[in-house]
Structure 1
Amino acid sequence: MTLKQLRYMLAVAQYKSINEAAKKCFISQPSLSNAIKDLEEEIGLELFIRTAKGITLTAEGSEFLKYAQQVIEQAELLEQRYLDKKPAKQLCSISTQHYAFAVSAFVNMIKKSGADEYKFTLRETRTHEIIEDVKSFQSEIGILYLDSFNRNALQKILRENQLEFHPLFEAEPHIFVSVRNPLAAKQSVTLADLEDYPYLSFEQGEHNSFYFSEEILSTVFHKKSILVSDRATLFNLVIGLDGYTISTGVLSEELNGTDIVSVPLDVEDRMVIGWIANKKAGISRQAAAYIKELKAVIRTYGN
């Protein structure tokens, strides 16, 4: 097993094509194919599924790739330090529930990356998909919350999938409403105050269990309820219909403007927001940089 083979594998996984990867690596297609085949034979695993439509990683290949990325990253650090070599293209994938602070941290991470080339991915998606993304190594980091209601169920799922939850901060539930909503002027609101307003929440698709809800108090009945799939639509409906959603209370005026405000919700429940990672592999330097920016953004909001 050589660094060259690992770099070839990374290129094939990135471009999902032997021909395209060969061009980027400046070698012939047969030479690259043979290098990948030799690697697979040496480790006794099939790393890629080859079809007429292209090439994709197997489950074993996805896991192997994470270890290969760490080896390549460490080798590149040595080359940069002692051979004065230019940093390689940066890669990092994050999956998250719909949080403004996660986007703010992502923006800051990219601005500070210093990379001439990069390919970063940010997925705002459903809770089940976040877990699946991190489980399958499609994302290095996943961001979600635990509370007294979903903790046991989600932690069981995380354990079964070799995932670990790392707390970031504890949040008191807030509602997000339009600045023109009568509730916006209140110091805090109760569930009774919300009865006549449309409740907005993120749909969870076929995995629509209360445990996968992005909103705390998911079992509370609402007379008026609307499910949405993205944050922009939710905020448009908050403004257009005088609706509300329940979240952490952390808003970004820079990203979301000043038309939405956060009001404390008078309940005893608390949310613990954190990040999950796969126990089978460590996180990359870029993912660690993202976590650092998450903590910095959260400290800013805390002040």
Structure 2
Amino acid sequence: MNILHLKYAVSIADNGSINKAAEEIHVAQPNLSRVIKELEADLGITIFQRSAHGMILTPEGEEFIGRARKILEQVDDMENLYKSDRPAQQRFSISAPRASYISDAFAHFSRSLGKADAEIFYQETNVLQAVKNILEVGYNLGILRYASKHDKYFREMLEDKDLTGELIMEFTYCLIMHEDSPLAKMETIRMKDLSDYIQIAHADPYVPSMPLSVVKNEELPNIPRRIYVFERGSQMDLLAENPQTFMWVSPIPERLLKNLHLVQRRCVDNQKLYRDVLIRRKNYHLTALDKQFITELTLSKRNCEFDE
């Protein structure tokens, strides 16, 4: 096994196809197939499951590719360090919850990239994947969202995985709905008022050492009609087009609400606190780009705080 073999495997994983990978890295398809078979035989694992839909990573393969990405990233860093004729490439990677104030910060952060080469990764995902991205995929930063009362469980998990966490924001979920929704015109909104409307939600909560069924019951109170959407853009489209929908969210910057004709309101019955915590490996040192993003995150947070 060598660095070239790792690059071949990562290319196949990225493309989901040996043929596409062969075109991308300019290697004959039979030779690429042979290399992967030899690699699997040498390691004693199955990296890819062959199917009619292409090359699919096995659980072992996901771990292998995650480690391969880390090695290739280290090789790139070494080359950048010692090849003076090669311009340094800016790198930034973060996994975050589906939160508008965070994506707003990321949008403003993108202006700071300038004209230098840059490789930027921003993934909206759940707690488990955010941790996995740091430990296995090679991401540098992550943001975890959880109920404040579970802070002890998450702190223990971070310590166990040699990660460190820094509180970004503590908040109570508010409601957003279209400005034409009857909910938006109510003087006071209570939990019982929501039963006639459609909730937009994503059901992927997680708390270490707690059964998923218990966490789901806690995070998703009974609503007769619910649409599960796991992509924030589509969630916003639904809210903007259907006045019968609502969603629980962390506070959103006023500018975004105006653009989508949405209204942000408190529910007097909801007093539960949540936390957004920035995580990274304990031995990881923040880069200039990391610090710039955190600055934008702080500014965005200030712009979305509101009182009634």
Aligned partner letter, 1:272: R
Please give the TM-score of this superposition, normalised by the length of structure 2.
0.65
Per-residue CA distance 1:7-63 (angstroms, 9 max, x = gap) = 222212212223332332233334434444454455x24252242533232222222
Per the TM alignment, residue 249 of structure 1 is displaced from its structure 2 partner at its CA by 1.2
Tell me the distance in 1 between the aligned counterparts of 2:3 and 2:124: 30
Q: Distance in 1 between matches of 2:240 and 2:201?
A: 13
CA deviation after TM superposition for structure 1 residue 202, in Å: 0.7
The 1:189/1:104 distance shift into structure 2, 3 A limit, reads same
Residue number among 246, 261, 285 corresponding to 1:259 in the alignment: 261
Structure 2 stretches lacking a partner, 5+ long:
207-211, 304-308
Indicate whether 1:268 and 2:293 are aligned.
Answer: no
SS in structure 2 at match of 1:257: helix
Q: Percent identity?
A: 18
Distance (Å, rounded) in 2 between the aligned partners of 1:85 and 1:255:
43
Deviates more, 1:66-75 or 1:252-261: 252-261
Q: Are the structure 2 counterparts of residues 98 and 195 from structure 1 closer, same or farther at C-alpha, using a change threshold of 3 Å?
A: same
Is contact 1:143–1:274 with CA below 8 Å preserved after alignment?
yes
Distance in 2 (CA, whole Å) between partners of 1:235 and 1:291 is: 32
Q: Residue by residue, what CA displacement relative to the aligned partner does 1:130-184 show, whole Å, maximum 9, x if unpaired?
A: 57975995795765521156668x859x78x969684432113322244456765
The question of 1:296 aligning with 2:299 is answered: no
Query: Which consecutive residues of structure 1, in runs of 5 or more, have no partner in the other structure?
Result: none
Q: Distance between the aligned counterparts of 1:256 and 1:133, measured in 2?
A: 35
> Which range moved further: 135-144 or 169-178?
135-144
Instruction: Please give the alpha-carbon distance, in whole angstroms, between the structure 1 residues aligned to 2:41 and 2:75.
Output: 23
- The amino acid that maps onto 1:61 is G
Superposition RMSD on alpha carbons, in Å? 4.9
CA distance in 1, matches of 2:132, 2:198: 28
Give the Cα–Cα distance (whole angstroms) in 2 for the partners of residues 102 and 261 of structure 1. Answer: 19
Deviation at 1:243, TM superposition (A): 4.9
CA distance in 1 between partners of 2:147 and 2:78 (Å):
43
Distance 2:79 2:137 in 1: 27
Name 2:57's counterpart in structure 1: 57
2:250 pairs with 1:248: yes
1:272 & 1:73 partners in 2: Cα distance?
31
Compared CA separation, residues 212 and 129, structure 1 to 2 (3 A):
farther
* Within-5 A mapping of 1:207-222: 209=213, 211-212=215-216, 218-219=220-221
- C-alpha distance after superposition, 1:90-114 (max 9, x if no partner): 89684x5432134334445655556
More moved, 72-81 vs 173-182: 173-182
Does residue 86 of structure 2 align to residue 85 of structure 1?
yes
Q: Secondary structure at the match of 1:6?
A: helix
